[in-house]
Amino acid sequence: MAKLKARWGVPAIDAGWTALPSVLLEKQAALQLDPTDINIILHIAKHWWEADRHAHPSKGSIAKAMQVSPRHIQKRIKALEEAKFIKRIPRWNEKGSLSSEYDLSGLVKAVEGFAKEALIERAAKKKMTAERIHRKRPKVEHGGEAENS
């Protein structure tokens, strides 16, 4: 938290912040998420405080913040649901319908494979760097061809 406050300032972080895996942003094209989808996910994530409790921001509040129509948000959420990234869970009370809950477990699962891949690549790079530091001879000879081992 101190590092976030140092970067963004105490008031900004004290006013609230949202956690999101970097791999989601890095792989948004691979996941076929457009900027609107990412923005909607950010708004849902903003309200997802506990792993076992789903977020339930209204489409209207998301639309207002993004300066688009609630219908546009509804269409994009439907597309995210069809892609199995989001599951909408309707909510009701005695007065009628409430804003839906959003289960992001499909998105979490989709991101997990890319995250594991990134961790493997990071470990391989770290190993290669360590080997290079401790190696007594180069892997490549002066002429640019690989050494025969």
pLDDT (tens digit, 0 to 9) for every residue of the chain, 149 residues total?
899 999 999 999 999 999 899 999 999 999 999 999 999 999 999 999 888 889 999 999 999 999 999 999 999 999 999 999 999 999 989 998 888 999 999 999 999 999 999 999 999 999 998 888 888 777 777 665 555 54
* In contact, 56 and 101? CB cutoff 8 Å: yes
pLDDT at 32: 97
The torsion region of residue 147 among left (phi > 0), alpha (psi -120 to 50) and beta comes to: beta
CATH of domain 18-134: 1.10.10.10
pLDDT at 143: 63
The model's pTM is 0.79
- Helices 35-46 and 59-66 sit at what angle, rounded to 10 degrees? 120
Give me the DSSP letters along the chain. Answer: -HHHHHHH-HHHHHT------HHHHHTTTTTT--HHHHHHHHHHHHT--STTS-B---HHHHHHHHTS-HHHHHHHHHHHHHTTS-EEEEEEETTEEEEEEEE-HHHHHHHHHHHHHHHHHHHHHHHHHHHHHH-SS-SB-TTSPBPP-
pLDDT at 40: 97
pLDDT at 144: 58
